[in-house]
Structure 1
């Protein structure tokens, strides 16, 4: 595994916008002289390293499913602050196995030892367009003859075809009103359409409620029978329409299904450590208390994009701000992230996102930051292997 410098394509902005990646240069990063899509560098791997990462992600998926079964069997919902009204649906959907689509493991790795799980984005992962499309097109233009760990687009289309018989069409796609979320959903909608499904797209705030029929409707007052929602379950249940979603759950096929709340919660990390102590793919983790760890990362159960993270080390600590600071948290061992020098001599800290489609790993995207905490503005850097 190496970090390599490269000369960006002269018209790279136009090319990535054609891919659907219009948020390549946000103002907050531009003020730092940086960009989100950063092809001034790329990571290279050998085939054995790619095999290691793929095998690790597949093993972690098996372990996480076993951990979800453990939570259900032992009723450990309070540890994850799961709302009581969601529990019967979690158990029912876990047993009935309704359609589920994707997730993303975030791993630390430097090529010299086993990857380590940082967290699992099992409900609402983003960074998908850049992983599935933009870095693939970059590879084919800039590095002909090299390969990339990336079959995401083909696997997504295949998964939609696989679950199509269980979906009432059109499949509605919804998200919050943010550029990245809307475009991520638009891309997923494209993969569903390529699979032959009828689709529609709207914002979460545009979803209506037909009180007479007791069901959700779209802007044309048509019933929403299948909904892919890029919107966290815990946020959805806290909305005014949350009780309606619970009461009428069986009238809509929800993707992702509600049982994914178990895996998208940071509480899965200490539970995995309990079930698989000292496993080479895991970092030591506990609920609320660091125990004997002197260096650790404190994470709220439901934080996202590096918000409200505290990195604690002897004599020092680093903290990020955000809106997830209330409630329970986990403490996870602070193993040092891989560090690579950039062209200007400063350090870069990569986190590898391993994408799961249909319970199997289908590709990788890399976010790198200038600090040990990966956040919403961390750059996406493409990769290849030889």
Structure 2
């Protein structure tokens, strides 16, 4: 694994905008950064990223089985008791999931360590799938990279295939929704809708704020059309607090991601996995805050809210002193403490976190976010990667 400085394409903005990538710059700061790329060997991808990603996914599935039989676990995860049966029934039905992203610490030597699982509402998908693949092809065509380089990236094909499977056994109407006033969320949903249409689905968009409730208990879009299947780029923990939360289980709606993802999209998962598999090579020691076992953590550790987005309210601590932190609105439900990853990639004062993508629970893509801070935030830059020829 190497960090490789490269000259950006002189017309890079035009090139990414022709793909429909409208949020390459956020609040006047570059988000898509092709002045650098990360190079991997094929062995590093297959042995240290792909295989551990799928192993962690299977570990998560085993944990769901345990959690659904143990109300104490569901309570510690701060999942409302009123939704427990809704989640159980989703798992028992075998509701299919679409995608997720494991954030990993990895410096090229291995083993990769799980930092968190973005199981419910991960973004950075379009740039991972389409934009960095287009960059790779142009980088080789323009002589910036040697011919024959590759990329860990079959996201586009896997997403179309996964949508096609979700369509079976009979076609249905699909709604996709996100909040208003978020270009990043809208771009992610637009891309997923395009993949769904390519898979043959009748797909239409609606903002979350437009969704209502019909007299028969079904959800509907702004045109009062019933919602049969809903992809929602909106976290389950937020939905559980909405005024219509009591209608979720009776709405006859298929949700993507499914309700059982609420168990995995929670940083309490980190403590639970470590308790289930202490010493696992791809896990970091982690405990719920207040657990006496927190005393066994390294002097350098991280405090994370059970629910958090894009680094908000995460604090890096060493021997009781705060080294770095990011503010935000989260933490009311509690925190976990996790050992700091010693193998977080760092060079020249730049830190990189790997995002390993899963589609239908199969590892199939990679993205990297880079920052001057060890905490990955909304402002962290997206940088492309390639597999050396």
TM-score range, shorter chain: over 0.9
User: TM-score by structure 2 length?
Assistant: 0.93
In structure 2, how many angstroms separate the alpha carbons of the residues matched to 1:209 and 1:218? 9
| Partner in structure 2 of residue 296 of structure 1 | 301
Q: Work out whether 1:320 is the aligned partner of 2:317.
A: no
Residue 247 of structure 1 aligns to a residue in which SS? coil
Say which of 200, 208, 216 aligns to 1:196.
200
Matches within 5 A, 1:57-136: 57-75=53-71, 76-136=73-133
Give 1:207 shift: 0.9
Q: Describe the superposition over 1:295-326 as per-residue Cα deviations: whole angstroms up to 9, x where unpaired.
A: 21000000110000011102631221001032
Query: For the residues of structure 1 that align with 2:37 and 2:170, how far apart are their CA atoms?
Result: 39
Match of 1:141 in 2: 138
Confirm or deny: 8 A CA contact 1:168 1:226 kept in the other structure: no
The Cα shift of 1:338 comes to: 3.0
CA distance in 1, matches of 2:171, 2:150: 37
Q: Does 1:270 align with 2:266?
A: no
Greater mean deviation of Cα atoms: 348-357 or 320-329: 320-329
Contact 1:189 1:199 in 2 (8 A): yes
Query: 1:36 & 1:302 partners in 2: Cα distance?
Result: 24
Partners in 1 of 2:169 and 2:206 — Cα distance?
Answer: 22
Judging changes above 3 Å, is the alpha-carbon distance between structure 1 residues 138 and 381 closer, same or farther for their aligned structure 2 residues?
same
User: Residue 296 of structure 1: SS of its match in structure 2?
Assistant: strand
Counterpart selection for 1:174 from 172, 177, 186: 177
Per the alignment, residue 144 of structure 2 pairs with none
Q: SS where residue 173 of structure 1 aligns? A: strand
Query: What secondary structure is seen at the aligned counterpart in 2 of 1:205?
Result: helix
Does residue 1:2 correspond to 2:2, yes or no? yes
**1:166: Cα distance to partner?**
4.7
Q: CA RMSD in A?
A: 1.3
Matched, 1:20 2:20: yes
- Deviations along 1:229-253, whole A, 9 cap, x unmatched? 00001101211222222332xx111
Q: Is structure 2 residue 307 aligned with structure 1 residue 305?
A: no
The aligned counterpart of 1:280 is 281
2:219 match: secondary structure: strand
Alignment partner of 1:219 is 2:219: no
Task: Label 1:77 to 1:340 Cα distance change in 2 as closer, same or farther (>3 A).
Answer: closer
Rounded to whole Å, the distance in 1 between the matches of 2:240 and 2:171 is 23
Tell me the secondary structure at the aligned position of residue 246 of structure 1.
coil
Distance 2:345 2:100 in 1: 26
CA offsets, 1:38-88, max 9 Å, x none? 000000000100012100101000111111111112222101011011100
The answer as to 2:190 corresponding to 1:186 is: yes
TM-score normalised by the chain length of structure 1: 0.94
Give the C-alpha shift of residue 168 in structure 1: 5.5
Count of residue pairs the alignment pairs up: 374
More deviation in 18-27 or 131-140? 18-27
Shift of the alpha carbon at 1:18? 2.1
What is the CA distance between 1:348 and its match in structure 2? 1.1
Residue 45 of structure 1 pairs with residue 16 of structure 2? no
- Gapped runs of 5+ residues in structure 2? 141-146
Residue 32 of structure 1 aligns with which residue? Answer: none
Alpha-carbon shift at residue 28 of structure 1 (Å) = 5.3
Deviation at 1:125, TM superposition (A): 0.5
- What's 2:257 paired with? 256
The 3 A distance-change label for structure 1 pair 247 and 162 is closer
Cα distance in 2 for partners of 1:113, 1:157 equals: 32
Does the CA contact (< 8 Å) of 1:337 and 1:349 recur in 2?
no
Q: Report what 1:241 is aligned to.
A: 244
1:359 aligns with 2:364: no
SS of structure 1 residue aligned to 2:92: helix
